[in-house]
Amino acid sequence: MDRIRIIGGSPLVGRIPISGAKNAALPLMIASLLTSETLILDNTPRLADVALLKRILGNHGVEVTVEGKRAGQDEFLGETVRLTAADIVDTTAPYDLVSRMRASFWVIGPLLARVGECKVSLPGGCAIGTRPVDFFLTGLQALGVELEIDSGYVIARAPGGLKGGRVVFPKVSVGATHTILMAATLARGETVIENAAREPEVVDLAECLIKMGAKIEGAGTSTITVTGVERLHGARHSVLPDRIETGTYAIAVAMAGGDVTLDGARYDLLDSAFDVLLEAGAEITRLNDGVRVVRNGHGIGPVRVTTEPYPGFPTDLQAQLMALTTRAKGSSSITETIFENRFMHVQELARLGARIHLDGDTATIEGVERLKGAPVMATDLRASVSLVIAGLVADGETTVNRVYHLDRGFERLEDKLSRCGAEIERVSG
């Protein structure tokens, strides 16, 4: 099993290209089920989750092809993926696939919209919390779907087709917003989604669906209105840059020190996180096609942060920020309000010398003068990269095990960091 080996102490200087957003690419790929024509997605990241979703969609009959690289093309430029769902050959999403990636449950919306029935496995538990699908199911029922739960599967039918309706989420859910948004594009009449997620990835999906012929208003606000159309057509769309990858590398520079330009990053997608990093002592500059992050000579200042749905501080950067605050000059606090069980990285950071006290959903971090390298174990995607960030400044060698978590959401992380001066490598076996 691969692991990441890091020798801490090197500042980061150079350029890091930001890949397409995983959290946008997955629903965009699933949207291909809504049309018999070809959907072309540029800037698709090369990630384990993307590869798995290609297999899942292939199981439903989607023909997936990837355009080859052209001579002189940047090695970090995303893939161009062509998805054609001319015929839906199987409306069952089996447990062995859905259990490996929760986002694959979202196929329930497009399958119902396109063919009026499906059988989709419940995704089961999750390392960072239960993340129930109740919101998905009540939302689909508001569109006229008949549901039955049997042997761990959701059996869903819309014999007369989906009908527009009013969907009110009791709590903001990105996945449920994606699912109902896709389903509503082919429903008869108007659908109003209230308390919708406002994340940029939701907006990116809506923009792609509009290119495919959907009628959508309000994406990016808490109320989205969808007027159903009879059919959607093919389109070409470029996946937006990954704001979580952007924030992760920005935090890495703030931790290790240095001067790095994040090519292709969009400042406007990450205002709240950049505000926190500015408070911590980093210098951040908005560029025409990227973001520059600098921290030279200044110590890291303590911060107080609460994770919130967009546009608040993202839960997907909580672990990375905690790594940064372990070296702050003073006491920091981070309150996690989105997912339970998302502090599993705390014990691993403690192995490096971090001083962190947990009280319910709040972690208090007392900054220390130095961290010391040690073997650590990744527990989930964001936790794993927080350990890499801590290892960048830890004395001696840090080895991060179970890095398959990293490969789900970060494209060639060790290559991007090493070309900016980090002493980091992937060790196989």
**Could you report the per-residue pLDDT of 45-66, keeping only the tens digit for each?**
999 999 999 999 999 999 999 9
Determine if residue 171 is labeled as part of a ligand binding site. Answer: yes
Q: What average pLDDT does range 82-104 have in this prediction? A: 94
* Residue corresponding to tokens 């200044």: 298
Q: Provide the strand spans (E) within 276-368.
A: 283-287, 290-295, 304-306, 331-335, 355-359, 362-366
Q: What average pLDDT does range 69-83 have in this prediction? A: 79
| Span 101-131, pLDDT tens digits | 889 999 999 999 999 999 999 986 444 344 5
Report the catalytic residues: 126
- Pairwise CA distance, residues 45 & 246, whole Å: 14
Determine if residue 338 is labeled as part of a ligand binding site. Answer: yes
What local confidence, expressed as pLDDT, does residue 70 receive?
64
Q: What are phi and psi of 346, to 5 degrees?
A: -60, -45
Count of helix runs (H) and strand runs (E) in the chain: 14, 24
**Would you say residue 76 has pLDDT above 90?**
no
β partners of residue 335: 306, 362
Whether the Cβ atoms of residue 163 and residue 143 lie closer than 8 Å to each other: yes
Radius of gyration of the chain (CA): 22
Determine if residue 316 is labeled as part of a ligand binding site. Answer: yes
Q: How far apart are the first and last CA of the chain?
A: 5
Determine if residue 215 is labeled as part of a ligand binding site. Answer: no
What local confidence, expressed as pLDDT, does residue 398 receive?
98
6 or 383, which is more confident? 6
Q: How far is CA 4 from CA 139, 382, 387, in A?
A: 42, 15, 10
* Tokens of residue 379, six digits: 């527990």
Average model confidence (pLDDT) across the chain: 94
Select from 293, 269, 267, 260 the least CA-distant residue to 16.
Answer: 260
| Span 316-331, pLDDT tens digits | 999 999 999 999 999 9
β partners of residue 117: 157
**Domains in the chain, please, with CATH?**
3-18+241-427 (3.65.10.10), 22-238 (3.65.10.10)
Determine if residue 174 is labeled as part of a ligand binding site. Answer: yes
- Pairwise CA distance, residues 303 & 305, whole Å: 6
Sign of the CA dihedral running 160, 123, 180, 185: negative
| Span 301-354, pLDDT tens digits | 999 999 999 999 999 999 999 999 999 999 999 999 997 777 989 999 999 999
Q: How far is CA 219 from CA 175, 197, 318, 419, in A?
A: 14, 9, 25, 38
Q: How far is CA 314 from CA 244, 382, 418, in A?
A: 8, 11, 26
At 22, the amino acid letter reads K
Whether the Cβ atoms of residue 365 and residue 338 lie closer than 8 Å to each other: no
**Would you say residue 222 has pLDDT above 90?**
yes
- Pairwise CA distance, residues 242 & 220, whole Å: 17
What local confidence, expressed as pLDDT, does residue 128 receive?
37
Which of 109-113, 150-154, 230-234 is least confident? 150-154
- Pairwise CA distance, residues 314 & 257, whole Å: 23
**Would you say residue 75 has pLDDT above 80?**
no
Whether the Cβ atoms of residue 340 and residue 129 lie closer than 8 Å to each other: yes
**Would you say residue 175 has pLDDT above 80?**
yes
**Would you say residue 72 has pLDDT above 60?**
no
Q: How far is CA 279 from CA 108, 150, 153, 295, 356, in A?
A: 42, 51, 47, 12, 20
